[in-house]
Chains A and B, each alone.
Chain A
Amino acid sequence: MAKKTTDKELIERVKNGDKTAYDLLVIKYQQRIVNLVSRFVRNQSDALDVTQEAFIKAYQALPKFRGDSAFYTWLYRIAVNTAKNYLASQARKPIGSDYDVSEIEQIAGGDALIEQATPENMLMKDELQATVLKAIKNLPDDLRSAIELREVEGLSYEEIAEVMECPIGTVRSRIFRAREAVDNAMLPLIKN
């Protein structure tokens, strides 16, 4: 097992001036952060902007990150604060001509009228989920169990090896093969 987590390794690289390492962290956490911010900022376009802002703020604050908590926990707090600040700034805006309909809905809390997502995005999510779940369902039992234990239950390779009564190398291989199979099923959708 690796002594240092991948996040720590990436953060260390960013702190040493390697900006591209931060890119990998953004790719890793982008969907989770958008999902989190969307709970506060209902307008999806704004949620994406707030997410970008949160990642920029996290980058700027990275020298202060001492690694006492997990990077995601730290990023989570930044994202929540950024979303709250955004809502506060929207609430402070005087009622005037520079409001558009979606902003008024946002501030007034008119959930029924809030734009949840564009139809294309909704389709994308639904289609993606359906494709991935179908691909998982079609996997052999050992591959499906391995990837579910890892991704859903969050077990380490060592723990999965214990549960599945097989060597760690086999776990690693099973998880990789499961990902490859799902990726192959998902790839045409993403490329389109």
Chain B
Amino acid sequence: MVNAMNNEKISALMDDEIDGQVIKQLQSDDELKSTWSRYHLIGDCLRDSLPEAIDLDLANKVRLRLQDEAVVITPDFSRKAFLKPVVGFAIAASVATVAVFGIKQSNQSDFSLATGQVAAVKMTNKSTTAQHNVNFEFDNSPQYRTATFQTDTSDLTENHRMSGYLINHNEYRKNGMSAIRPYVRIVTIESQEK
């Protein structure tokens, strides 16, 4: 009775119609293993896929040869697949943090620009000035817009701040919003000593 029950499970297992719990039992029970072998032989016979020479001992020969082989242990790919988005998220979070701190630093500079609405900026500062033409390209506008401002040429840090601001601004605006195209030269400076 128990045998019949187990054989019915083996029958369902070979048809992929039962979960793998019975496999452990099958592996440890030679009688069940023989049943597994004979049931498959019936299937091969019905499908006419039997070879001319039927070696019923073939599996044993393979088993003996495999005794010398190293045990196969493979890393779980599903765990790797789980880690992938986590690592991706960590990298994205790091980039976002750097971007936020970068913007904070640029906000500490003397000037500020209204984000998204920069069309023209005019600045006048101190005695020695230079005119700077700043070209912007926005995704939603095919035309270049020019911001003209005057600033102190002796204070080169101002230029660096401006460049830093534009780069940070560009990174910040990439996040789902229209952005300055990275392949366009974004700043040109023409110095005109007055």
Contact = CB atoms under 8 A, between A and B. Distances in A.
Given A151-B47, A172-B8, A172-B12, A26 B58 contact: yes
A119 B58 CA distance: 18
B contact patch SS: helix
A66 B43 CA distance: 27
Interface of B: 4, 7-8, 11-20, 23, 26-27, 33, 35-47, 49-56, 58-59, 61-63, 65-66, 69, 71-74, 77
B35 to A, nearest CB: 7
Nearest to A132: B45
A68 to B, nearest CB: 11
Nearest to B18: A2
Given A6-B14, A34-B54, A172-B17, 8 more contacts: A3-B19, A16-B74, A24-B33, A62-B72, A121-B54, A122-B52, A128-B54, A147-B46
Interface in A9-43: 9-10, 13-24, 26-28, 30-32, 34-35, 38
Contacts of B59: 23, 26-27, 30
B16 A5 contact: yes
Given A6-B20, A19-B66, A34-B58, A117 B53 contact: yes
B61 A125 contact: no
From A1, A136, A147, A179, name the one whose CB has the most chain B CB atoms within 10 angstroms: A179
